[in-house]
Structure 1
């Protein structure tokens, strides 16, 4: 299983040859099966899935108010906590933290007898930023679960580095009609619509279909946790690449240069997108910069040498994170203790930028480049991919 393409159910490659369980790629322009309205709203099927109206409650809408980059801390929860705990050899303490983690069945209906994943070998983790602390919301209310950002984190078998692939929330993909449905079922929409159709498991299924990469674990984080963890570290220093005024109250001023930010300020900064020339893409870059700053601060001597500060940090992380049923913090602590900010490579899922499809502004994948990237992830050959794609 480690590092393999690890098809789940009837998952199949979404790129290149366009093969899936019954034909048809998951990316690109609307398929030849599109109705006159361009596959949106989805066709056929029952409520709550592509192919039927969204479930009762707040409907999914294509454009949302700009959100913030909660995903950064999810990654920190995986890597920072692991390295710190192992470094100070508090394995028993780690066990207690592991027990404190909230759990969710992220692989509901798509496991098909999937065995528990160990940390030996390569590892693929889906990191999710959301507006809810409750990934286990009932199916009839899953439309309340929303994701701001998705990151596919690949950790090679040697556990000495990690590659984090940001998936734009507006990426135009095929969303399967059910958590256990064929990859070419359903119809196309923005990827974060998967949460409205079937909660976290549908998002997992969609990403696996899109990339043909087997996901071993899923971690989610909420708004409150983002602020608490940052504040537990005493804030972070972030580069402000242009002076702006926040579009959110209390309309903070961010001045070009390096600024020390607490949790509220950092949250506000990485929410901004409208003031920047590349919009969501600049916002993703700011999220990535925040992640590195957070990791480096957490691994610093000032955190490790202060028992009270370290405890506050670790407790805030476990309160903020929701993990899948098989995720083990103690295993992570042993295996990934050497990971630091300089060991991370940030990548954006290959795309051709924004286009208007079915009246929506969406991000269109670069299918050829994406095929090569995700094949490298699935086969644990990211070192070779990065050498060939140094830019």
Structure 2
């Protein structure tokens, strides 16, 4: 009887492992279809004559919409914002991943570029005028890149995503950061920030000597911090951590109609690679920041350096500003 009982243990162990694998697979498949069903999409791309050819690798246009109509009165007070109902972009980035990279390139929202059908203006006004389709076309024609995917995160959604992660760890540079208009009030050093604090941190620009160029660096810093924590074991393994995070992310995110969960997963891995030290982050090279009558203060790209950067992205080769932040 003892020998017979001993012989049953390997069989029971194998059956237990098989059952565990089946459960894990079912959980993963269930999450995949659940996420796909909840994914919100928009017609972000429109066909037009002269659209750039596809390059090597994959290019995302990532934007943060600063519409704050869904914020609670308390959140608006903390963020020092009104109840603006308009369409605006607070963040514009291109994420490239392929054999080279990943690379995350910030496009200053005051970049002075041609907006198809509307003359020259600040790049973020393209979104206000014509929504995602005009913004994607404006970015494609300004950079020469054929965008593959579009992702948009709204103001309140970003707050909820950070809170669902239990906050993120941000290292504030020497001298700290204080900005009355954004509500930012942070001493120097590494610290945990909740969603509202993180938004205060990335929105500050009036007290930053670099202005909007300083803000885009903090935006990339925060994106990396979110990606790093999102793929950590304490978030990915426990369902009670992973599902609330995914739910908040899906509620905050809108993508183009051709983007699915698989593409989002690959984008997340590219972001995680950036937070782990792979690839590089940078800003489109700037030549000057003049004031233009009827437009205001704008950012003018350095044409030679910007072309080199976009050529490298198009060809999936190391960007000339690798290592810059």
- Name the TM tier (shorter chain): 0.7 to 0.9
Q: What is the aligned partner in structure 1 of residue 121 from structure 2?
A: 189
Higher RCO (CA 8 Å, separation ≥ 6 residues)? 1
Which aligned pairs between 1:53-202 and structure 2 lie closer than 5 A? 90-108=28-46, 110=48, 122-132=57-67, 144-156=86-98, 158=99, 161-177=101-117, 186-202=118-134
Measured in 2, the distance between the counterparts of 1:113 and 1:297 equals: 37
Deviation (angstroms), 1:378? 1.2
3-state SS of paired residue (2:299): strand
Cα distance in structure 1, aligned partners of 2:221 and 2:58: 23
- The residue aligned with 2:217 is 285
- Are the counterparts in 2 of residues 352 and 364 from structure 1 also a CA contact under 8 Å? yes
More helix by share: 2
Distance 1:335 1:267, change over 3 A: closer
- The 1:97/1:121 distance shift into structure 2, 3 A limit, reads farther
Q: State how far apart, in whole Å, the 1-side matches of 2:305 and 2:158 are.
A: 33
User: What is the TM-score of this pair, normalised by structure 2?
Assistant: 0.78
Larger Rg: 2
- Alignment pair present for 1:375 and 2:311: yes
Offset of 1:144 from its aligned partner? 2.9
Q: Counterpart of 1:144 in 2: which secondary structure?
A: coil
CA 320–332 in structure 1, closer or farther in 2 if over 3 Å, else same: closer
Residues 98, 126 of structure 1: alpha-carbon distance in 2 compared, 3 angstrom cutoff: same
Q: Give deviations 1:233-289, integer Å, cap 9, x for gaps.
A: 11011112223434147x453111112111111111111111111011111111111
What SS does structure 2 have at the residue aligned with 1:308?
helix
* Contact 2:172-2:190 within 8 A present in 1 as well: yes
Equivalent residues in 2 for 1:1-391, closer than 5 Å: 90-108=28-46, 110=48, 122-132=57-67, 144-156=86-98, 158=99, 161-177=101-117, 186-241=118-173, 242-248=175-181, 251=183, 253-333=185-265, 337=269, 339-340=272-273, 341-342=275-276, 343-358=278-293, 360-381=296-317, 383=318, 385-386=319-320, 390-391=323-324
Pair 98,303 (structure 1): closer, same or farther in 2 beyond 3 Å: same
TM-score scaled by structure 1?
0.65
The CA RMSD over aligned residues, in Å, is 3.1
State whether residues 52 and 140 of structure 2, in contact with CA within 8 Å, keep that contact through their aligned partners in structure 1: no
Paired with 2:237 and 2:160, the residues of 1 have a C-alpha distance of 20
The alignment partner of 1:108 has SS state of: coil
**How far, CA to CA, are the matches of 1:243 and 1:122 in structure 2?**
38
1:206-226 C-alpha deviation (Å, 9 max, x unpaired): 111101110111111101111
Question: Which blocks of at least 5 consecutive residues in structure 1 are unaligned?
Answer: 1-85, 135-142, 178-185
Q: How big is the shift at 1:197?
A: 2.4
